Amino acid sequence: MVRLIQKSGYIKTGNASGYMKYIATRERVEKLEGSAPVTKGQQQLIENLLRDFPDANKLDEYSGYRLAPTTGNASALISAVLDANAHKFTDRDGYMKYIATRPRVERHGEHGLFSNRPVSLDAALKEVETHTGNVWTFIWSLRREDAARLGYDHAESWRKLIKAHQAEIAEAMKIPPDQLRWYAAFHDEGHHPHVHAMVWSADPKQGRLTKEGVKMIRSKLTNDIFQDEMYTLYQEKDVSYKELVAMSRRTMKELLEKMRSGSCGSPVIENKLLELSQLLETVKGKKVYGYLKKPVKAQVDAIVDELAKLPEVAECYEVWNGLRDELEGYYKDVPRHRLPLSQQKEFRTIKNLVIQEAENLRQGVFTFEDAEMNDEPEMDSEVLPQGVGYQAATLLYDDEITQAEKREALRVLEQLWDKDFTSAAYHLGRAYRDGLGLLPDDEKAEKWFRRSADTGNVHTLYVLGKLLQEQGRLSEAVSWYEHACKSDSQYAQYSLGKMYLLGNGVPKDVSRAIQLLRSSANQGNQYAQYVLGKLCLQGKEVEKNPEAAEYWLTRSAVQGNAPAQFLLDHRQHNPSVLLCTARLLHHMSNIFWETLPPPNPAGGHVESKLMGRIREKKIAMGHKPDDHEEYQGPSMSM
């Protein structure tokens, strides 16, 4: 794979080593090109170089020498190793003179040094010699065939490249742009034509090069050098990306549906959650992963590790990892390192969700598992006039029509309201609440719901109470719920029962809560049936009653309530802990889905930016402005 090779380091004042003599004399030594066997002197020097510079075995010259240990290949290897490490065994002005005047440097007059302005070698040597801060060195090299193909086989291309990115280099090195100083020289050497560069700040107290900075510099230069080929690569890989991601998303969707509809009856996880809830008793301050002490963090990690062992999670993680491996393989030489799920950064949120569930367990928080409750009745279209009125109400809920058509339907409903068709108010309230044909507007939704409630629409009493509760106006919500309960609204009875059970907006009153929940359950509300069964199974707020628990849970499960069936299947377990583990499984399924790559890659916006950069580069390299080709370019139940 084509790539830019980068090496970086720095030279402190007065740095030198035993290789200085070799460097000093080597400038007068011609490079050997012979095919005779390597000499003993060369062999000994190579052994010393490999000992002192172990990364030399990654050079192409080393591979060539190993395959054919001739005098020519030995000489090429020695030259490459010493050139790549010259900054380590000479002082800074000696290094500058070396890169400016050595054989095979592309000269501009008496030397090969270049910068963002005309260069005097004597002045540059004096500047670097008197500088009291660090001087950083870089070597950027390309394979011979890549340099020739991409136009980086001469100094001017490299000068333009470095000059174009000097502001980014300054940013990466924490140097103000106006303080950045750099000199470089191009060496047309062997397998890897390359550039030596020296970089520092005019202010000796400034400048710092971190690993992130090194990566940033390499990335910026790589993107510029290879952008022509990257464009072609993006076109080719765009199709592969879409196909790969689409296939993986289909597979993952099937697995996640199994995960969401499955159970998590793991005694190990249940016990660890109980242990974590006890550990949280001693935790002061924020109960989030980053603030916890090591033993508590270790317990959280252990729970996530156990979750990762569940077959459904392990299968999803394997598919997730496989997709990431293939996508990263498009752009990186080094294989992706797979981490345990608990250490994978994309899954960090599961740790705080584990803590949250354990804390709820510790505090005895009662949960309802009713996120999928559908409490909207069939449309009251029977009291609207057939024809235009019925059609208008129907169009509001049709996802296939345009927003303009929905706005026209709203206009018709307002006309019907003016003609005393009172059911129109309910549909208008829903339209403003849910943004059907217009932007959501709670104030207007409330106005129309109040108008509907004033006409005696029982369900609107409940809907208005629900809207007010969602806004935090609890006392008003209770008032409307009470009105709806008098008309036996099962939804209002369930919602108000929950509020009395928790003491949310009203004084806690378990007896009143049970009365309301039972009335709702007897009308067939599966969520009220589930709550009654769970209360009887737990035996906390009411007396434990396994028979009553089974009765209510069975009635709920028959209607398709998954949590109810889950409790029936595992009634020998602690229901609170059991549901905690089940919810963690659902949390995990959401994280898997949210961290999948999007169905489409970066898209046309990035491609158009890339084309612009390609055009700019070609113009900078001497092409005419028109010398280019245009691009044609899940909801949870627990």
Ranges 124-133, 141-150, 378-387, 479-488, most confident: 479-488
Prediction pTM value: 0.53
d(Cα 160, Cα 158) in Å, to the nearest integer?
5
> How far is CA 493 from its chain centroid?
43
* pLDDT exceeds cutoff 90 at 519: yes
- Would you say how long the chain is, in residues? 638
The DSSP H or E segment spanning 9 is strand 5-11
Residues 16-31 have pLDDT tens digits of 223 323 333 333 333 4
Q: Can you give the pLDDT at residue 611? A: 47
> Which DSSP letter does residue 510 get?
H
Closest-CA residue to 197 (of 137, 147, 122): 137
The DSSP H or E segment spanning 182 is strand 180-187
HSE-up (13 A, CA, CB side) for residue 348: 5
Q: How confident is the model at residue 628 (pLDDT cuts 50, 70, 90)?
A: very low
Q: Between 71 and 305, name the one with better pLDDT.
A: 305
Residues 278-336 have pLDDT tens digits of 999 988 888 999 889 999 999 999 999 998 898 888 888 888 888 888 777 655 657 78
Domain boundaries, the chain: 5-227, 230-363, 602-633
Tracing tokens 């009654």 back to the chain, one arrives at 532
d(Cα 544, Cα 256) in Å, to the nearest integer?
35
d(Cα 337, Cα 317) in Å, to the nearest integer?
14
Q: What are 614's two structure tokens?
A: 């390609």
Q: How confident is the model at residue 43 (pLDDT cuts 50, 70, 90)?
A: confident
Average pLDDT, the chain: 79
Q: Between 292 and 232, name the one with better pLDDT.
A: 292
Report the chain's C-alpha Rg in angstroms.
36
Q: What are 261's two structure tokens?
A: 């509809």
Residues 330-357 have pLDDT tens digits of 556 577 889 998 888 888 889 999 999 8
What are 516-522's contacts with CB under 8 Å, separation 24+?
Answer: 516/485, 517/493, 519/485, 519/488, 519/490, 519/493, 520/490, 520/491, 520/493, 520/494, 521/552, 521/555
Buried b / exposed e along 592-606 (16+ C-beta atoms within 10 A): bbeebeeeebeeeee
Is the Cβ–Cβ distance between 191 and 144 less than 8 Å?
Answer: yes
HSE-up (13 A, CA, CB side) for residue 446: 14
Residues 396-436 have pLDDT tens digits of 777 778 888 888 888 888 888 888 888 889 989 988 998 88
* pLDDT exceeds cutoff 70 at 612: no
d(Cα 357, Cα 372) in Å, to the nearest integer?
20
* pLDDT exceeds cutoff 80 at 73: no
d(Cα 384, Cα 413) in Å, to the nearest integer?
9
Q: Can you give the pLDDT at residue 233? A: 52
Q: Between 542 and 267, name the one with better pLDDT.
A: 542
Q: Can you give the pLDDT at residue 451? A: 94
One DSSP character per residue, 46-80 reads HHHHHHH-GGGGGSHHHHHHHH--BHHHHHHHHHH
One DSSP character per residue, 367-430 reads ----TT--------GGGSPTTHHHHHHHHHT-TTS-HHHHHHHHHHHHHHHHTT-THHHHHHHH
The DSSP H or E segment spanning 353 is helix 349-363
Residues 103-137 have pLDDT tens digits of 666 776 778 888 888 888 888 888 888 888 888 88
Q: What are 121's two structure tokens?
A: 């070698």
Q: How confident is the model at residue 604 (pLDDT cuts 50, 70, 90)?
A: very low
d(Cα 377, Cα 430) in Å, to the nearest integer?
12
* pLDDT exceeds cutoff 60 at 269: yes
d(Cα 294, Cα 289) in Å, to the nearest integer?
10
Q: Can you give the pLDDT at residue 408? A: 87
Is the Cβ–Cβ distance between 486 and 497 less than 8 Å?
Answer: no
When pLDDT is averaged across residues 169-178 and rounded to a whole number, the result is 94
d(Cα 105, Cα 126) in Å, to the nearest integer?
21
Q: Between 252 and 556, name the one with better pLDDT.
A: 556
Tell me how far apart the 2 most distant CA atoms of the chain are, in Å: 108
Is the Cβ–Cβ distance between 481 and 490 less than 8 Å?
Answer: no
Range list of H helices, 311-348: 311-329
Q: Can you give the pLDDT at residue 2? A: 52
Q: Can you give the pLDDT at residue 424? A: 87
Give the contacts of 279 (CB within 8 A, at least 6 positions apart). Answer: 295, 296, 299
Residues 238-257 have pLDDT tens digits of 566 667 667 767 776 776 66
d(Cα 35, Cα 50) in Å, to the nearest integer?
22
d(Cα 534, Cα 380) in Å, to the nearest integer?
34
The DSSP H or E segment spanning 181 is strand 180-187
Lowest mean pLDDT among 40-49, 286-295, 490-499: 40-49
d(Cα 615, Cα 630) in Å, to the nearest integer?
10
Lowest mean pLDDT among 70-79, 213-222, 513-522, 538-547: 70-79
d(Cα 94, Cα 409) in Å, to the nearest integer?
83
Q: How confident is the model at residue 607 (pLDDT cuts 50, 70, 90)?
A: very low
Lowest mean pLDDT among 13-22, 162-171, 457-466, 493-502: 13-22
SS3 content of the chain, % helix, strand, coil (to 5): 60, 5, 30
